[in-house]
């Protein structure tokens, strides 16, 4: 008779959990300082896993060893202190425990009775996250996989509530063309959403920004007036609370007032910057966010929760439910209600993982005060790097630093703009290959900048100082190589 049970014995299970624990321990005690980018070519990474689909199972201890050597070996060390790329948090160790327990429980919170605990914990987390950032805690919400999905979902809520009810049945044909407004610094997830929601890329109005990369509200109003006069249907104004490029925060109060005056849905993308609203030092920048009809905030960015966890918050719960509630026969049960919430009515996904556990355990284990202090530490790291850049004679700051992103470029005295452009493009790649630190390049006002994002409490002041030293070193190598050619 073939072996049907996939489980270990309880004793074996514990042995393997200990073994996995050792892999994690080694990662955090010995490998955080390892080179950040593993430096392997795609073929080399594939080579580690060029294997046939196994007909017979692999020994679990051997499998865990393969993870320890090959999977960890080919991973970018973004949990380490020297990773500054994109907006990638370093996670936290309480959440490692949460993820293990969540996988063990394998809850599916599509309906209340399929997971009472994950449903209620998710509602609690939505309330806590709202409280943390100063959003009304009567809001409804859901924890989704990422900011892109979350922004897509919120634009869908805006569309549903701003357009006639029969659009859901009849589709977009015959509807007035919709328009959505965001600053030229808005995240690309809005372009994707505008495309997929039938709004159209051309109808996503990218409003120019001021010298601090904040939306020009005078131009916004002009554009809305112009669109109204031409028969467009403005459905959403988006405020950015922490742009991806430089961390700029729009004037959220003024945007709220404009949205109110015109009767347009007001969405705030606080995917990255949102948690900083809780701080005494920069909280004032976020005033007005509480007036938004919907907000996106990613615990997997600046609340140090490991991937994936992005919250949508919608001020009027019924507007969220109206968008996503659809109950087929096979999901019709326990109709007596009794205060039960079926999360499938508040989100696009039906099945999803128990994301609330890691967010709840993170908030509970560290507490709001410690998280605020940690976020403040990240802001100070970014400010410290900006000061080092300003005090140097070979680097140049490219944008203000309102939160925890510092954009700068290498440009010693005497280097012209064209050479600086070329050098910084080369540097971004050469720094990745060098592996001591990891950062990415972007364009600031059309010029290539090196961009560092600080959302990792493992980064110290000394690490910040090392950034410019490493770049100078890499620059010397680049120069040497060019002179050899």
Ligand X SMILES: Cc1ncc(COP(=O)(O)O)c(C=O)c1O
- Kindly tell me which of 146 and 402 has the beta carbon lying closer to ligand X: 146
Which residues neighbour 121 within 8 Å (Cβ) at sequence distance 6 or greater?
354, 356, 357, 360
CB of 201 to ligand X, least distance (A): 17
- Kindly tell me which of 118 and 148 has the beta carbon lying closer to ligand X: 148
In degrees and rounded to multiples of 5, residue 379 shows phi and psi of -60, -40
CB of 301 to ligand X, least distance (A): 7
CB of 333 to ligand X, least distance (A): 33
Contact flag: residue 187 with ligand X (CB under 6 A)? yes
Contact flag: residue 189 with ligand X (CB under 6 A)? yes
Structure tokens at 399: 């944008």
Contact flag: residue 310 with ligand X (CB under 6 A)? yes
Contacts 24+ apart (CB under 8 A), 248-251: 248/185, 248/209, 248/212, 248/213, 248/214, 248/399, 248/400, 248/402, 249/214, 249/273, 249/285, 249/286, 249/402, 249/403, 250/183, 250/214, 250/215, 251/214, 251/215, 251/217, 251/288
Contact flag: residue 87 with ligand X (CB under 6 A)? yes
**Which of these ranges, 116-124, 131-139, 142-150, 172-180, lies near ligand X under the rule CB under 6 A?**
142-150
CB of 366 to ligand X, least distance (A): 21
Contact flag: residue 85 with ligand X (CB under 6 A)? no
Q: Which residues in the 360-389 window bind ligand X by CB under 6 A?
A: none
- Binding residues for ligand X, rule CB under 6 A, total 14
Report the distance separating Cα 123 and Cα 287, nearest Å.
24
In degrees and rounded to multiples of 5, residue 114 shows phi and psi of -80, -15
Contact flag: residue 147 with ligand X (CB under 6 A)? yes
**Which of these ranges, 20-28, 143-151, 382-390, 436-444, lies near ligand X under the rule CB under 6 A?**
143-151
CB of 113 to ligand X, least distance (A): 30
| DSSP characters over 42-71 | HHHHHHHT--PPPSSPPPHHHHHHHIIIII
Segment (H or E) for 224: helix 217-229
Q: What is the DSSP letter of 306?
A: P
Angular region, 174: left φ>0, alpha ψ -120 to 50, beta rest: left
CB of 247 to ligand X, least distance (A): 9
Contact flag: residue 271 with ligand X (CB under 6 A)? yes
CB of 96 to ligand X, least distance (A): 20
Q: Reply yes or no: is the peptide bond before residue 308 cis, omega within 30 of 0.
A: yes
Contact flag: residue 214 with ligand X (CB under 6 A)? no
CB of 465 to ligand X, least distance (A): 26
The 240-269 contact track toward ligand X, x by CB under 6 A, reads --x-x------------------------x
Q: Which parts of this chain interact with ligand X (CB under 6 A)?
A: 87, 146-148, 151, 187, 189, 242, 244, 269, 271-272, 298, 310
């Amino acid at each position: 008779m073939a072996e049907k049970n996939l489980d270990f014995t309880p004793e074996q299970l514990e042995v393997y959990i200990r073994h996995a624990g050792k892999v994690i321990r080694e990662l955090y005690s010995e490998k955080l300082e390892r080179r950040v980018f593993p430096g392997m070519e795609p073929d080399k990474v594939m080579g580690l896993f060029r294997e046939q689909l196994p007909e017979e199972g692999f020994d679990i201890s051997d499998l865990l060893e393969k993870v320890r050597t090959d999977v960890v070996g080919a991973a970018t060390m973004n949990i380490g202190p020297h990773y500054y790329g994109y907006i990638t948090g370093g996670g936290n160790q309480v959440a490692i425990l949460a993820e293990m327990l969540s996988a063990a429980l394998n809850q599916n919170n599509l309906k209340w009775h399929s997971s009472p605990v994950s449903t209620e914990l998710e509602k609690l987390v939505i309330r806590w996250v709202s409280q943390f950032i100063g959003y009304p805690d009567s809001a409804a919400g859901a924890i989704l996989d990422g900011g892109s999905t979350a922004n897509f979902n919120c634009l869908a809520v805006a569309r549903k509530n701003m357009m006639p009810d029969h659009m859901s049945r009849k589709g977009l044909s015959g509807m007035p063309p919709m328009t959505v407004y965001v600053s030229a610094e808005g995240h690309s997830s809005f372009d994707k959403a505008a495309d997929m929601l039938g709004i159209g890329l051309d109808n996503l109005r990218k409003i120019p920004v001021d010298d601090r990369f904040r939306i020009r509200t005078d131009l916004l109003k002009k554009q809305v007036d112009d669109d109204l006069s031409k028969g467009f249907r403005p459905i959403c104004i988006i405020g950015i609370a922490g742009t991806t490029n430089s961390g700029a925060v729009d004037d959220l109060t003024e945007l709220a007032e404009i949205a109110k005056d015109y009767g347009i849905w007001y969405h705030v993308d606080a995917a990255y910057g949102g948690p900083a609203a809780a701080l005494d030092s920069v909280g004032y920048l976020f005033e007005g966010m509480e007036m938004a009809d919907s907000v996106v905030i990613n615990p997997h960015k600046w609340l140090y929760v490991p991937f994936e966890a992005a919250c949508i918050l919608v001020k009027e719960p019924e507007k969220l439910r109206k968008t996503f509630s659809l109950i087929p026969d096979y999901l019709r049960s326990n109709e007596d209600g009794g205060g039960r919430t079926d999360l499938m009515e508040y989100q696009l996904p039906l099945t999803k993982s128990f994301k609330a556990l890691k967010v709840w355990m993170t908030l509970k284990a560290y507490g709001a005060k410690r998280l605020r202090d940690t976020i403040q530490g990240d802001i100070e790291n970014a400010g410290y790097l900006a000061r080092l850049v300003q005090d140097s004679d070979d680097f140049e700051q490219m944008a203000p630093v309102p939160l925890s992103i510092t954009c700068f470029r290498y440009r010693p005295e005497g280097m012209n703009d064209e050479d600086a452009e070329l050098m910084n493009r080369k540097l971004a790649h050469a720094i990745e290959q060098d592996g001591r630190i990891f950062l990415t390049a972007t364009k600031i006002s059309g010029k290539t900048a090196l961009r560092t994002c600080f959302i990792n409490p493992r980064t110290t002041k000394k690490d910040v100082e090392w950034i410019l030293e490493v770049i100078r070193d890499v620059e010397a190598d680049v120069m040497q190589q060019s002179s050899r050619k």
